[in-house]
Chain A
Amino acid sequence: MWKISSGIFMGWSLGANDSANIFGTAVATGVVKYRVAICLTALFVMVGAIIEGPKCMATVGGVSTLSPLDAFWCTLATAITIAFLTYLAIPASTSQGIIGAVIGAGIISGTADFSKLYKIVVCWIFTPIAGCVISVILYRFIGHIMKTKKVGIARKNFCLATGLIISGCYGAYCLGSNNVANVTGVYVSSGMISAEVAALVGGVSIASGVLTYSKKVMMTVGKGIVPLDPLSAFITMLSEAISLHVFTQLGVPVSSSQAIVGAVVGIGYAGDSRTVSRKMLVKVGLGWLATPVLAGVLSFIFIKGLGTILLNFGL
């Protein structure tokens, strides 16, 4: 069972890192206290992972057939890639990392199924686009209602505060349901654990990351998004959550960071203002390309090099 440890570690780092996309804005703007935010995120991540988590697990495991040891190396390669790209301040996706790593392992074993990769890559391309399109539609729709309907300032304030909290909970649910497959999906395909147990273990590990180590990133992301007004922040969070939920129904794990970047670009487009710089978009694109490639290369090196050494030691 020690082979699951790399997955638990990845789940922990995913929880610590990606929870910022969920309640970062609400915490930084003071709508929700940090403690309340992490408790809500942890709770809804677990609920999402348990209820809808298994939907994406078949996709992660279906890209290639993995042995339990390969599964360990794949998650470790992804965790290291994410840590390295985070160190370089390049937005990285665990979904792309794990798929890249599994493909890397599949190339060695000769079981890589590139036909399934096609569907996954199309979904990756559409993640920021979906975030962007949904946020434009929501911004225009809700913005139109806010402009035409005479709503008092107290009620508007109540609606926005409540909306930020509800969309945060929904975002946490969608993060759990979509991203838990990245954490423990490979163990299901390698036959180590069932999808339900994998969802529970993954959910708990993501929740532990949220509860123990998410403050720094949450504040950084939240304060970076603060220039958005409350309505834009609410729409950004809701668009990200809807995008993740749509891709969960398609059974493809995608990046919550890319969904939220797409949503912010959409808000900028709909509001006729520059909210994201070209430099930022280049950085996101770089992460988009580098994550699966780097994770794939690393898992290839691990399995070819370290895996052989461990096998020689009879592990």
Chain B
Amino acid sequence: MLFNKFFSRGKKEERVLEKIRSHIELLCKACEMFRQALEEGNSGSMRKISDLEREADGIKRKIISGIYDGAFLPYLRPDLCRFIENVDDVFDLLEDTAFSSMNIYLPGKIRDECFRIAFLNQRMCEMLLITFDAMVKGDDLREKVLAIRIYEKKIDDMKFGVLCDLRELSIDNYWHGKTLSDFVAGLTTISDIIEDASDHLQIIHLSMR
């Protein structure tokens, strides 16, 4: 086992990193699909997000087993796993939000803001992928992590506006109100989890310096 480590020259680690990259790429794809489906009101595309979430679950399992099969120093493993869990949480939330969106009609007052938030979520995922690539290459992450924080702040500001608009809406059906509220909460929480994931990337990067 010891000699395997010597002769593999980090191949195990590279395999795990490739899988993590494809996990994040899939997240970018899911976010893009969600945004397009939301803008077009396409329920068929929204349903496909569940398929992507299942695919992501499979990749996550392979990554975790790869890590505990001996890839990376045990010192790094908890932070790497937390990062993977964060990305998986985004998938779960995106799936729930997609499900909520299929059961509501978006009121005109908040419609455009929701589209913008979905777009920013997609941008954040892309930035997360760029940050991950930079970490893998050993580049500086500060600017990338800062960009993610700026996106998150922007979404937070928009969230308060959307919530104010929501309060002014008259709701005649409990389930419609709840689903709408769940949808907005999900849509605006995705950015928080992506920010947490980027923080973990920063921690992993600093741990290896």
Contact = CB atoms under 8 A, between A and B. Distances in A.
A36 B209 CA distance: 27
B204 interface: yes
B73 A29 contact: yes
A162 B6 CA distance: 7
A122 interface: no
Contact-residue bracket for chain A: 20 to 34
A29 B74 contact: yes
B133 to A, nearest CB: 10
Contact of A29 (B75, B136, B208): B75
A156 B208 contact: yes
A165 to B, nearest CB: 7
Contacts of B9: 158
Interface stretch (B10-18, B22-30, B186-194): B10-18
Contact of A150 (B17, B139, B208): B139
B102 interface: no
A150 B13 CA distance: 17
Nearest to A165: B2
Contact of A161 (B14, B73, B205): B73
A279 interface: no
A157 B208 contact: yes
Given A147-B209, A162-B6, A153 B17 contact: yes
A146 B209 contact: yes
Interface in B34-74: 72-74
Given A30-B73, A165-B2, A150 B137 contact: yes
A80 B101 CA distance: 76
Nearest to A28: B74
B209 A33 contact: no
B1 interface: yes
B204 A153 contact: yes
A152 interface: yes
B207 interface: yes
B162 interface: no
A158 B76 CA distance: 12
Nearest to A155: B10
Interface in A152-180: 152-158, 160-162, 165
A249 to B, nearest CB: 29
A56 to B, nearest CB: 30
A222 B201 CA distance: 26
A160 B13 CA distance: 13
B153 interface: no
A154 B2 contact: no
A158 B13 contact: yes
B13 A153 contact: yes
A272 interface: no
Contacts of B10: 154-155, 157-158
Given A36-B2, A156-B208, A165-B2, A230 B135 contact: no
Nearest to B205: A153
A149 B138 CA distance: 8
B109 interface: no
Interface in A111-158: 143, 146-147, 149-158
Contact of A153 (B1, B2, B136): B136
A43 interface: no
Contacts of A36: 1-2
Given A29-B75, A143-B209, A155-B10, A161 B137 contact: no
B5 interface: yes
29 contacts: A30-B73, A31-B74, A33-B1, A36-B1, A143-B209, A146-B209, A147-B209, A150-B137, A150-B138, A151-B138, A152-B138, A153-B13, A153-B138, A154-B10, A154-B17, A155-B10, A157-B72, A157-B73, A158-B13, A160-B73, A161-B5, A162-B6, A165-B2, A226-B75, A229-B207, A230-B75, A230-B207, A230-B208, A231-B209
Interface of B: 1-2, 5-6, 9-10, 13-14, 17, 72-76, 135-139, 204-205, 207-209
Report the 6 A-B pairs with minimum CB-CB distance, sorted nearest first.
A30-B74, A158-B10, A154-B13, A154-B10, A150-B138, A151-B138
